[in-house]
A and B are shown apart, each in its own frame.
Chain A
Amino acid sequence: MQPERIRIRGCFRFYVAIVCTFLLASCGGRAYIYEAIESTDLRTRSQSQTEETVRVAAALPGREETAAIFGVQLYDKGVQPVWLEVQNNGPEQIRYAPVGTDRFYFSPLEVAYTNRRSFSKKGRAEMNRRFDELAMPRYVDPGETRSGFVLTHADYGAKGFNVELFGPDESFSFTFLLRVPGFVPDYANVDFASIYPADQIAVHNGDDLRQAIVDLPCCSTDENGAETGDPINVVLIGDGEELMYTMLRGNWTETSVAEATGMKQQYLFGRQQDAIFRYQKTLDDSFYELRAWLAPFMAGDEWVWVCQVRHFFRSALALTRLDPDVDNARNFTLQNHLYAQSLEKFAWLSGREVVPVESFWTNLLRPTYFSDGYRVVLWSSAEPYSILDATLLGWEDPPGWNQ
C-alpha cells in the first residue's frame, strides 16, 4: 500500500506543477516596473551648449540607469538612449530631427516591441505608453523647454553625436562628445604627463620637426625590442582631446587592449601603445586598427602621436589576417580624415623601409606585408575643416599611390 500511495502523491504533485505552469504562462509573465527619471542625476550631469536663442543639454544614461528608467536592459540589444533637453527662447517654433543624431535611430514603439517578451498584456501596454512618453518630442514652441530620449545605436566608449534643430528660416547644429558611464578605454589609465620627464621633451618646428619624423623608427618591435614589427605609417599632430574628436567624427571607436587580445603585441619607445582605435566596416567583420604612441617631442605647442595603421580581414579559415597592402590602410586614414573634415594640413615623407610589391608574390620567404615606405603626417583639427581647405605641405611628393 505504502509505495502505491507515494506514487499517487507524486503524480498529483506533478499535475499540480503542470497546471501552475500553464496558469502562469497564460496570465503572461511579469508586470512592467520602471523608475522615474528623477531618480537619476542625468539633468545635473548633462552638458549644455547654447547657440543664439537655443540651448541644448545632453546626457548619456549608463547600463543600469537605462534599465531603471526604461524597465528593460536596452544596452544588451545594442540600443543606447540619449537624453536631450531643448530650450527655445526664439520667436518661432523649432523642430528636432532624430536622423541628425543617428541616421538609423530606433522608434520608441519598435524598441518596446522587441523587448515585449516576458511581460504580461497589461505590462506591454504600460511599456508602450512609457516608451512613447519618454521620447524626445519633435516640436519645441517659443519659450518652451522640452526633453526626452532619442534611441540610438549603442557606442560603448565615448559617443559623439549631433543635435540638429530647424526653424522656418534658420537651423541650429550642436556637436556633443560624451563618455558612456562605466567604460574605461586604455588611454584613460595612461598618465600622459608622466610618460616623459618634462625636461626630455624636445620642441620642434619646421625642418626640425620633419627631421624628427624621418628619424622615427621604421617599425614597431616585440617586447624585447628585437624582431621588426609592422610599419609606423601615420603621424597625427594635435592634443589629446582634439585627437578624440577627429577620430570619433571619422567613425573610429575607442578600443581597449582586452578587445585587441589575440592580436600580436606591438612595442615602440619600449612600451605598448598608449591608445587603440578601430574603424569597423559596416557589412563584414573587417576593420582598420590605429595604434598610437605619444612621441618624445612636440610640434610647436601640439602633441605628436606616432601611429601604426593596419587593415585586418577575416580570411577563409575564419582567422583575422593582416592585409599585406599596409599602404592601403595609411591611405584610408588620410581620406577618412579628409572626409570627416578633420584635416587642416598634411605632408608626405618617404621612409627607410621599402618592401617592394613586385617581388612580394614571387618571394619564397614571403614577408607579411609590402609597402612603398611612405609616412603621412596629419595635422588634425577639432573644428570642422572643409576638405577643399586642407593644405598639402611641400615636404615631399606623394607616393604614386596604389590603393
Chain B
Amino acid sequence: MEPVKKTDNRSLVRRYIALLLAWTIISIGCATGFDPKPIESVLFRDRAQTQIEAGIRVTAAVPSATESRELFGVSLYKKRVQPVWLEIENSTQETVAFMPVGLDNNYHSPIEVASLNRSRTARAKAEQYFFQNGMNLQITPGETRSGFMFTNLDEGTKSFNVDIFGEDDAWYFTFFIQVPGLAIDHYEIEYESLYDEDRITDFDEPASLIETLEQLPCCTTDKGGQNQGDPLNLIVIGETEDLFYAFIRAGWDETEVVTAASGFKTAMSFITGGQYRYSPISSLYVFDRRQDIAMQRIRENIHERNHFRLWFSPMTFQGKPVWIGQISRDIGVRFTWKTVVTHKIDPDVDETREFLLENLAFNQVLEDFAYVRGVSVAPINQPRQNLTGDPYYTDGLRVVIWIPPGTVDMEDIGYEEWFDPEN
C-alpha cells in the first residue's frame, strides 16, 4: 500500500507545478497586451484629404490594417472595425457639432472597441486610451479638434460623409479615400490604353448608338469564346470616376482580384457563412478579355449577393464612355461538374436589372435611363442557360443608365423613350 500512495502524492505535486507554470505563462502572455505607437510615428496621415467650406475645414485620413494595429495595439480590421481620423477646424463665429451618426449610423463607441483587448489590465489602459483618442463632437469658434471615429470596415475605397451642424447652418462633406491593402481589380487597368484612339467611335445621335448597342453580342462567353454565359443586360454611360462614386454611394463594394489570399478568404466565408464583402468574382469574357470592373453588394452573407461586371467598350456617346455589362443576383451555392462550387443565380435576371436601376435612383446617382433590345427574349417556359448551367429567362432588353457627375434628385431623373419595355 505505502509506496503506491507515495507515488500518487508525488505525481499530484508535479501536476500542480505544471498547472501553476502553465497559468503563469498564460497570464504573462496576456499582460503584454497593450502597446500603441504614438500617432506621429505612424504615417497614415500622408494620405489625408482636406476639404474647406465656409469657415469649416475637415481633414480626414484612414489608417490601413497594419497602421491601425500599430496605432491601437489591436488588430481592429480583423474585428471589422476601421478607425477614421478627423481634424475639424472651426473658423466661424458659432459653436458647431459634428455628428458621428452621419458618418456611420452603426459606429462603435471607443470603449466597445477597446474591450477587444483580452487581458484585464491591458483593457483598462486601452479603454482610457481609446476614449481619449475619440473624436469630440463639439468645436467652439476658433478651435481645432482631432480624433478617431470607429466605423464599420470598408476595404478598398472608404467613402463617408462628415456632417457638421451649427445653429442655422449645416456643412456636408463627402470623402472617398483609398485604403492600401486590397488588390482591387480595376486599379490595375489603364482604360485609356485599352483601345487605340482611332478605334473609338463617338456617337452623337441616339439612333446610331441604339443600332450599335442592339448589335453587340447577346451574352458573355468563356475564355475561348465558344460558349455563351450570362446575358449582357446592362449599358452604363459615364466617366470612370463618376461610376465609382455612384456605385460606392449606392452601397456597392469593389472586388478583389483572384489571388491565393482572396481565395482563402472566400473559402473561409463560404464555410462560416460570414461576410467577406470583397470576394472575387469569376471571370467572364467580352471583347476577348475578362471584365474591367466587378462590383458586388452583399446582403446577408456571401451566398446572397448581387453583382455586376462591366467592360469598357470602344464607344463614347456625346463624349462620355459607354460600358457594357451583366448583372445577376446570387441566391445560393450549388455544386457543378465544371467548377465544383458555383453561385446559383436568380433565373429572373430582369428583376435584378430593375433592382440596380432603382438602387441607383434612390441613392441619387441616376441621371437618365432607357431600354434597348439586343439580348433576345427567353420566355419563362423556355429558359436559356449560362455557363454553369443555371437557367434564366428575360424580356431580352438592356437597360441604359446614365451616371451623373455628382447627384441628381429623384424627381429630376430623365427617361428616354428608345424602346418601351411594356410592348
Contact = CB atoms under 8 A, between A and B. Distances in A.
A343 to B, nearest CB: 12
A182 interface: no
Nearest to B361: A97
A118 interface: no
Given A100-B362, A108-B348, A400-B136, 20 more contacts: A99-B362, A113-B331, A113-B344, A132-B380, A139-B422, A168-B415, A313-B115, A316-B115, A316-B123, A324-B127, A325-B111, A332-B101, A338-B99, A338-B101, A387-B165, A388-B168, A400-B138, A402-B134, A402-B137, A403-B135
Contacts of B123: 316
Interface of A: 93, 97-100, 103-104, 107-110, 113-114, 128, 132, 138-139, 166, 168, 171, 281-284, 286, 311, 313, 315-316, 321, 323-325, 328, 331-332, 335-336, 338-339, 357, 361, 387-388, 392, 398, 400-403
B332 interface: yes
Q: Tell me which of B152, B167, B361 has the highest count of chain A C-beta atoms within 10 A of its own C-beta.
A: B361
Given A109-B331, A323-B112, A403-B137, A98 B358 contact: yes
List of 5 A-B pairs having minimum Cβ-Cβ separation, nearest first: A401-B137, A335-B101, A110-B331, A97-B358, A313-B112
Grouping DSSP codes into helix (H, G, I), strand (E, B) and loop, the B interface class, with mixed when no group exceeds half, is mixed
Interface in B77-101: 80, 97, 99-101
Contacts of B168: 388
Nearest to A400: B138
Nearest to A110: B331
Interface in B31-81: 80
B111 A323 contact: yes
A149 B344 CA distance: 23
Contacts of B128: 361
Interface of B: 80, 97, 99-102, 105-106, 108-112, 115-118, 123-124, 127-128, 131, 134-138, 152, 165, 167-168, 170, 251, 275, 299-300, 304, 329, 331-332, 344, 346-348, 351-352, 354-355, 358-359, 361-362, 380, 410-411, 415, 422
A332 B100 CA distance: 8
Nearest to A139: B422
Contacts of B299: 104
Contacts of B97: 398, 401
Contacts of B422: 93, 139
A402 B136 CA distance: 5
A175 to B, nearest CB: 15
A232 B167 CA distance: 26
Contacts of B275: 283
B331 A107 contact: yes
B346 A110 contact: yes
A323 to B, nearest CB: 5
A339 B152 contact: no
A339 B358 contact: no
Contact of A283 (B106, B116, B131, B347): B106
Contact of A403 (B110, B329, B359, B410): B110
Contacts of A311: 109, 112
A387 B170 contact: yes
B101 A107 contact: no
B112 A403 contact: no
